[in-house]
Amino acid sequence: MIDSKHFRDVLGSYPTGVCVITSNNADGQRWGLAVGTFSSISLDPPLVGFLPDKRSGSWANIATTGRFCVNVLGNAQLETCRRFASRHDDKFEGMAHGTSPGGLPILDGALAWIECAIEKVVELGDHLLVVGAVQAMERAPEGSPLIFYRGGYHRLVDLEDATA
């Protein structure tokens, strides 16, 4: 039997980027959740995916919209990450954001955003694999990502700069 704490500790040795998944409905209600499991899945067709916890109320609301926007967080967005990882009632309260071509929330300061239609949702253990068909996307010309590694948040350091 694999101990879940040890499993988490070992897999924490692999760094991940941090994203916030956002959506809204026709009534203007907005939802978002922080994830560290975002990945490119396919170039042709362009598909991306992430793995929310099956118990996530934010994901349950986003799922009903049939669409989502991935916001790749920059290293100055730790407080944004913490807000969207919380159970705060209105995670967007006081939060500046724009909108994607399809009207989904894009968080100010995000390094990149990817607007998607939900293509497929697969139940896998205690999480879901959400596959999104990319509809639109863009990236900031500069910036460095927020990274999660061994239970904490970090900044990317260019090895050439670090050894100079």
Which pLDDT score is estimated for 55? 94
What pLDDT is attached to residue 134? 98
Q: In the prediction, which pLDDT does 14 show?
A: 86
Quick one: pLDDT band at residue 13, thresholds 50, 70, 90? confident
The full set of domains in the chain, from first to last, is: 4-9+17-163 (2.30.110.10)
pLDDT in tens, 120-140: 999 999 999 999 999 999 999
pLDDT at 35: 97
Q: What is the pLDDT of residues 29-73, one digit of tens each?
A: 999 999 999 999 999 999 999 999 999 999 999 999 999 999 999
Question: pLDDT averaged over the chain?
Answer: 94
Q: Please, which pLDDT band fits residue 81 given cuts at 50, 70 and 90?
A: very high
pLDDT at 146 over 70: yes
How much is the pTM? 0.93
- Burial class of residue 69 in the structure, from the number of CB atoms within 10 Å of its CB (0-12 exposed, 13-18 middle, 19+ buried): buried
Give mean pLDDT, residues 11-28.
92
The CA-based diameter of the chain, rounded to the nearest angstrom, is 53
Given a cut of 60, whether residue 164 has pLDDT beyond it is: no
Give which of 134, 155, 160 is closest to 15, Cα–Cα: 155
pLDDT at 79: 96
Count how many residues are written for the chain. Answer: 164
Q: What is the pLDDT of residue 29?
A: 95
Rounded Cα gap, residues 107 and 46, in angstroms: 22
Give the model's pLDDT for residue 163. 62
